[in-house]
Structure 1
Amino acid sequence: MLTNNPPLLVFSGQSNCTLAEEICTELGIPLGKSQTEKFSNDNLVVRFSESLREADVFIVQSFTTPVSDSIMELLLMIDAAKSASAARVTAVVPYYSYARSDKKDEPRISIAGRLVADLLQASGADRFLTMTLHSPQVHGFFKIPVDHLSATVVISNHIKSVVPNAHEGVVLAPDAGDIKRASAIARRLDAGLAFIDKRRTSDTTVNARALIGDVRGKNVFIVDDEIATAGSLVEAVNLAKEMGAADVYVAVTHGVYTGPAVERIRDLDVVEVCSTNTVLVPKGKIEGSNGKLRTLSVAPLFAQAIRNIHTGASVSTLFE
């Protein structure tokens, strides 16, 4: 049990209560009580059922479907906490979906990643805790302290547990932009490294052009930040198999699994597809994948980060 001064309180929005409850179990504290209601005009109202005065408040909310409701609920919870005299409010967003919108790559569009960051700060957030941003530069959109966690340790340990000779395999980055992440896991596994040269032709279509590296006869571990429609994943797996890969394992931080993703994974020649619980994967999707989908918990990592933030300890030690 933690000894808190000021008291540590953890609350959850509706997007991922399961993860919030696991975090609280790790911390040895109960999940804070709050309610969210939607009026007939589609407006949301949130209220806390306990005192927040001078408390160190952490609000857990992933930006998952319905994303706009998730964001609005978090903004209202932050504002309500500040109005209730919380000493500090930290927005804990395990999956920050708008990190994909990090630049103006087309005319007349919004850089939504920055806009949502501005909204969180305007609502009163004093600190931001997240995991594996699609674009690390989104960190710079915030003028408040940001703690950017990585699932590298969790993913690496899982691969070692299911593949005893993982050091003889190859970590494969689905595109050149993922080489840094793949390289970090390859170092932990003492495995080889390869990447795919690809071209995105639309928001949902990706063409893999070449695989750089040697995967013939080796177990391949494809790692990425997230899976949405699984279009990139299909291209990566098929190309790895064409190049002579043995068993293929997939591990990502955020398993969003939208559109045809589950069906594609079900029919894919892979041993398993793992994602962490930053996004709540419905039981129906897991069953629909013929048992290929697996979930890894990052609750201990978030709990330790929250504990360190609360006590003033270093968060960077969690990467060691």
Structure 2
Amino acid sequence: MIVLNTHTIITEQFPNKETKVKDFDSYILKDNFLQFTYQEDGDLIKLLFVKKRLEQEQVNCRLVINYMPYSRMDRKIDGDLFTLQYICEFINDLNFEKVYVVEPHSTKTTEMLHHCEAIYPALDWLPSIINKLQFTDSDRIVFPDKGAASRYENAGYANSCVFDKTRNPQTGRIENMILKQGDIPQGAKCIIVDDLCSAGGTFLWAGQILKQMGASEVYLLVTHCEPRALSGKLLDQDSPIDKVFTSTSMMHETHPKIEYITINLENYV
């Protein structure tokens, strides 16, 4: 989905699968603000068409990427292409005045995108969630791996814990997780904080360990949540995760264990 200056761009598809983008002349301003939500590869072609139309008018345009596509393919792995590099080059070639990325999965995105700035709304959501859950000094913020700990190292919360996980290099499946830093007091409430949830395997592991160590309630705060989470075990009634706080950057489906939080982009751009 592409939103230009608060107006959703209308697209259709011809029978042969080519994309038709309806003209949006009345939406164009001197300084434009484009929001891009990736759902499939065809959305990148729509972004190309919209930006080229704006170039015809010789106007300025800033881009907000709600979720950076291919962000997990952020390094060269034997047998796979380094596809994040190609997507960043594609966006760079569109010559946006400024690019904002909501919760990039790694620093590779901001390193490779020109005129790029990262936005981390999860850190801004934490205080209100902590207040809502009535946190005390016995409760804990939990980072599921060293990547998350590094990403949110400036969160400013002293009572935090960090997990260390081991994956099978061939299958990518988690083989082991241990609490590497911090402690879990009996009866503690815990909020696991990360940028992205897919099927939720990492958070199931972490949640089970936290409950076994004595946590009374375990919550998950992720900026991006894929629809895959709806078909996995993360949201089951007997899951160790009591509730998921997330944005609508990747899905909008209603579920009793999901609470959506709005990203107010005007606070960042």
TM-score under structure 2 length normalisation? 0.88
In structure 2, relative to structure 1, the CA distance for the partners of 1:53 and 1:232 (3 Å cut) is: closer
8 A contact 2:66–2:101 mirrored in 1: yes
- Letter of the 2:196 counterpart: E
Residue in structure 2 matched with residue 163 of structure 1 by the alignment: 133
Q: CA RMSD in A?
A: 2.3
User: Matches of 1:70 and 1:204 in 2, distance apart?
Assistant: 28
Worse-superposed segment, 236-245 or 150-159: 150-159
Residue 195 of structure 1 deviates from its aligned partner by: 1.4
- Letter of the 1:159 counterpart: I
Residue 262 of structure 1 deviates from its aligned partner by: 4.8
Residue in structure 2 matched with residue 196 of structure 1 by the alignment: 163
Cα deviation, 1:13-52, whole Å, max 9, x if unaligned, reads: 2xxx6xx8xxx7xxxxxx3363211111111122333246
**Are 1:243 and 2:210 matched, yes or no?**
no
User: Matches of 1:41 and 1:196 in 2, distance apart?
Assistant: 49
| Unaligned stretches of 5+ residues in structure 2 | none
Give the aligned length: 265
Residue in structure 1 matched with residue 47 of structure 2 by the alignment: 74
Residue in structure 1 matched with residue 260 of structure 2 by the alignment: 295
Give the counterpart of 2:92 among 118, 121, 129: 121
In structure 2, relative to structure 1, the CA distance for the partners of 1:181 and 1:54 (3 Å cut) is: closer
Residue in structure 1 matched with residue 70 of structure 2 by the alignment: 98
8 A contact 1:54–1:87 mirrored in 2: yes
| Structure showing greater relative contact order (alpha-carbon pairs closer than 8 Å, 6 or more residues apart) | 1
In structure 2, relative to structure 1, the CA distance for the partners of 1:209 and 1:51 (3 Å cut) is: closer
Residue 95 of structure 1 deviates from its aligned partner by: 0.6
**Are 1:174 and 2:148 matched, yes or no?**
no
Listed as ranges, the matches of 1:1-320 within 5 Å are 13=2, 31-32=6-7, 34-51=9-26, 55-64=30-39, 67-83=40-56, 85-107=57-79, 109-142=80-113, 144-185=114-155, 187=156, 190-201=157-168, 205-212=173-180, 213-217=182-186, 218-258=188-228, 261-266=231-236, 267-283=238-254, 286=255, 291-298=256-263, 300=264, 302-306=265-269
- Letter of the 2:44 counterpart: I
User: Matches of 1:275 and 1:111 in 2, distance apart?
Assistant: 28
8 A contact 1:52–1:81 mirrored in 2: no
- Letter of the 1:197 counterpart: D
